[in-house]
């Protein structure tokens, strides 16, 4: 049994006191009472807000904090452990968050057991905030903020030594399993969304399933920390009642990779096709200029193939998640939205063709 609570109802006052004391945030105050309320719509973990009461005035002590715990759904929890999702998020907050320039919640506790199935995170409550809504798109200003924050993450982690740590590196065994399992996931996706997804979009889904060995072996030319699920549902705008513009949460899929994948993911699945088509060029130029401003020069022409191929990450995430995480009404709508957006970008810019040309070039280079 884990030496820390893994359900909201198991959190007690003494444990909270000990963890917040260890984090040096209570300024000598003692927790006298607390209440929890569920927040967020995550399917791989449960998040609650904890409102705190103290025995005396303590201006530096948080009035509330957030806690993230394992999913109650056994399938989602098993999937998370298999792909080290909980381990990645705990390690991100404990080890990497202090290194990144992107605005993320401050962490008060980051604990995980040896199996990778049970964990708890206590971190800064950034509310009140406007939670990004994948199904409603966003404003151009919010899209620009997201691009700027992505550049700050990628530039501040460019080629850092931590990128070589095992928990951040892609797992070859997991990759091989995904390649084998992906056509089955596509079959689940096809059946679930029959009659809902456009035929031309379904054709892209089928093409990606056929190209799964190439896609899951694809590597871009740059190397940094990537968020891995960089879309609106994982973004908070006007945090702390508008005191700050934006923060990014949900780090279960962070991995060593190419920042252009996060950018392509955002453009394809994150901001809505209409907004993307109108402002795509400007947003890519903004990313390049921000990376260059942070000391990691990027040129639009040089990264273009990586961006459009990287957009396929949103599609494969939607397809795979539909098969292997807890099914909910919101999740069904979300995965369909992600797939449509990614497929629209893939059709507009021949993402599948670019992937296959990249794979053929790599094969020819290896042969030579």
CATH number at residue 287: 3.90.1200
**CB of 60 closer than 8 Å to CB of 29:** no
Residue 150 — very low, low, confident or very high, per pLDDT cuts 50/70/90?
very high
Nearest in space to 354 (alpha carbons), one of 248, 208, 253: 208
Same domain, 120 and 134: no
pLDDT at 39: 86
Dist CA 159 CA 177 (whole Å): 28
Looking at 124, 144, 165, the residue that finishes a domain is 124
Same domain, 70 and 145: no
The reply to whether 1 falls in a domain is no
Same domain, 276 and 315: yes
Tell me the residue range of the domain where 191 lies.
Answer: 130-367
pLDDT at 110: 96
The reply to whether 341 falls in a domain is yes
The Cβ-side half-sphere exposure at 108, using a 13 Å CA radius, reads: 24
Same domain, 188 and 116: no
Same domain, 107 and 152: no
Residue 82 predicted with pLDDT over 90:
no
Same domain, 300 and 156: yes
Q: Is the alpha carbon torsion for 265, 270, 273, 278 positive or negative?
A: negative
The reply to whether 199 falls in a domain is yes
Same domain, 182 and 90: no
Residue 2 predicted with pLDDT over 70:
no
Q: Domain holding 87: CATH number?
A: 3.30.200.20
* Torsions phi, psi for 124 (to 5 deg): -55, 135
Same domain, 255 and 134: yes
pLDDT at 302: 92
The Cβ-side half-sphere exposure at 320, using a 13 Å CA radius, reads: 21
**CB of 291 closer than 8 Å to CB of 298:** yes
pLDDT at 260: 95
Looking at 124, 150, 174, the residue that finishes a domain is 124
The reply to whether 90 falls in a domain is yes
Domain count, the chain: 2
Lowest mean pLDDT across 64-78, 82-96, 115-129: 64-78
The reply to whether 50 falls in a domain is yes
| pTM score above 0.75 | yes
Residue 81 predicted with pLDDT over 90:
no
Q: Rounded mean pLDDT of 151-162? A: 96
The reply to whether 163 falls in a domain is yes
Residue 91 predicted with pLDDT over 80:
yes
Same domain, 150 and 96: no
Same domain, 305 and 258: yes
Considering only residues 82 and 189, tell me which one the structure prediction assigns the higher pLDDT. Answer: 189
The reply to whether 2 falls in a domain is no
Helices (H), the chain: 13-22, 74-82, 85-91, 140-156, 172-192, 199-210, 212-215, 239-242, 259-265, 273-293, 300-310, 312-324, 329-349, 351-367
CB neighbours of residue 152 within 10 Å:
19
Same domain, 312 and 247: yes
The reply to whether 3 falls in a domain is no
Same domain, 180 and 230: yes
Q: Rounded mean pLDDT of 220-239? A: 94
Residue 367 — very low, low, confident or very high, per pLDDT cuts 50/70/90?
low
pLDDT at 313: 95
Looking at 124, 152, 187, the residue that finishes a domain is 124
Beta bridge partners of 50: 36, 65
């Amino acid at each position: 049994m884990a030496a820390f609570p893994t359900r909201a109802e198991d959190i007690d006052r003494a444990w909270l006191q000990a963890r917040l004391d260890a984090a040096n945030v209570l300024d000598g105050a003692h927790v006298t009472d607390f209440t929890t309320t569920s927040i967020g719509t995550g399917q791989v973990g449960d998040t609650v807000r904890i409102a705190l009461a103290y025995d005396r005035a303590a201006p530096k002590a948080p009035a509330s904090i957030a806690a993230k715990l394992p999913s109650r759904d056994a399938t989602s929890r098993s999937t998370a452990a298999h792909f080290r999702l909980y381990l990645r998020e705990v390690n991100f907050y404990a080890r990497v968050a202090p290194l990144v320039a992107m605005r993320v919640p401050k962490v008060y506790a980051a604990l995980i057991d040896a199996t990778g199935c049970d964990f708890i995170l206590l971190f800064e409550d950034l509310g009140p905030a406007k939670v990004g809504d994948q199904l409603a798109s966003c404003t151009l200003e919010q899209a620009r903020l997201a691009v700027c924050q992505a550049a700050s993450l990628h530039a501040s982690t460019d080629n850092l030594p931590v990128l070589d740590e095992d928990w951040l590196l892609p797992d070859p065994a997991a990759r091989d399993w995904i390649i084998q399992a992906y056509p089955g996931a596509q079959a689940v996706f096809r059946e679930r969304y029959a009659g809902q997804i456009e035929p031309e979009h379904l054709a892209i889904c089928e093409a990606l399933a056929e190209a799964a060995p190439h896609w899951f072996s694809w590597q871009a030319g740059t190397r940094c920390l990537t968020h891995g699920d960089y879309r609106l549902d994982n973004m908070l705008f006007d945090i702390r009642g508008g005191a700050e513009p934006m923060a990014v949460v949900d780090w279960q899929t962070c991995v060593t990779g190419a920042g252009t994948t996060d950018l392509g993911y955002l453009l394809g699945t994150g901001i809505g096709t209409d907004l993307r088509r109108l402002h795509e060029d400007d947003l890519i130029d903004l990313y390049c200029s921000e990376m260059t401003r942070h000391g990691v020069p990027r040129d639009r022409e040089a990264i273009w193939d990586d961006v459009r191929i990287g957009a396929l990450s949103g599609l494969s995430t939607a397809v795979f998640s539909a098969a292997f995480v807890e099914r909910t009404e919101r999740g069904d709508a979300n995965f369909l939205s992600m797939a449509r957006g990614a497929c629209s970008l893939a059709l507009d810019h021949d993402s599948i063709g670019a992937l296959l040309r990249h794979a053929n070039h790599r094969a020819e280079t290896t042969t030579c």
